[in-house]
Copies of this chain bind each other. A is one copy, B any other.
Amino acid sequence: MTTEETARPVLGKRARQRQAIESEILRVAREHLATEGAAALSLRAIARDLGMVSSGIYRYVESRDELLTRLIVDAYTSLAETVHDAHDQVEPADLTGRWDAIGNGLRSWAIAHPHDFALLYGSPVPDYTAPADRTTQAGTAVLVVLLRLLDDVDRAGRLASPPAGLEESLATAALGPMLSDDFFAGTGIDATALAQGLAAWTLLLGAVTSEVFEQLGPLPDAEGLFACLLVSASGLFIDAD
């Protein structure tokens, strides 16, 4: 008979209540982030929205920085999920199609969540340094899909020839050490290929950044420009059919 009780340590009422409040806080925080932006994130305002006294929120959230960290990790996983989904809807043999999916996925996510994007790829939030152990891991999730594509491009023999001047020695010296990371285990990627993939990724990120942050002023056809940049980026590591 005691089995019934020990078999459902489903979390006591208290723990459940706590979890509910914590997720409520995160929900409201995300709401504020989406509407006001990261810098306007105020614990007091969140507490107010939740009908609790300003000091009460510190029972659930250690500090403003910790809340930021949670939001960052959230955003990273949301982004990675979006990009992965977009990528996986293209048939594996269509290499440039997969790249386009990655690029468009990133762009549309960034446009839909500009403040989250700013949190991840914009200037670091003042007086806040992201705890590397929690964020960089989440941050690499997006890069996994790029690495998969890069590896497949290589395996298919469709790797673009590196630009003149990108000697293998240069790439190896700069990127060789990174290749020994677990991250690259099981791939046949070499330093030059990695350099090319990173160049494409950097161009992609620059394109999205410049569009979301409006660095070139108001553009007549942002969509079209992005399409051009996406082609340029793809050409950096994928050979034409």
Chain A interface residues (CB < 8 Å from chain B): 36-40, 96, 118-119, 121-127, 132, 136, 139, 163-166, 170-171, 173-175, 177-178, 195-196, 198-199, 202-207, 209-210, 213, 215, 217, 219-221, 223-225, 227-229, 231-236, 240
What is the minimal beta-carbon distance from A148 to any residue of chain B, in angstroms? Answer: 18
Extra contacts, 18 of them, besides A123-B213, A139-B217, A209-B209 (Cβ < 8 A), are: A38-B126, A122-B122, A123-B123, A136-B217, A166-B231, A170-B231, A173-B221, A174-B224, A174-B227, A174-B228, A175-B228, A177-B221, A178-B219, A195-B228, A198-B228, A199-B228, A199-B232, A202-B229
Instruction: Tell me the nearest residue of chain B to A199, going by C-beta.
Output: B232
Instruction: Tell me the nearest residue of chain B to A38, going by C-beta.
Output: B126
What is the minimal beta-carbon distance from A113 to any residue of chain B, in angstroms? Answer: 13
Separation of A177 and B224 alpha carbons in the complex (Å)? 12
Instruction: Tell me the nearest residue of chain B to A206, going by C-beta.
Output: B206
Given A224-B170, A240-B164, check contact A195 B232 (CB 8 Å): yes
Q: How many copies does the complex hold?
A: 2
Q: Which residues of B contact A196 (CB under 8 A)?
A: 232
20 A-B residue pairings within 8 Å (CB atoms): A39-B126, A121-B209, A121-B213, A121-B215, A122-B122, A136-B217, A139-B217, A163-B235, A165-B234, A166-B235, A170-B228, A173-B221, A173-B224, A174-B221, A175-B225, A195-B225, A195-B228, A202-B203, A202-B210, A205-B210
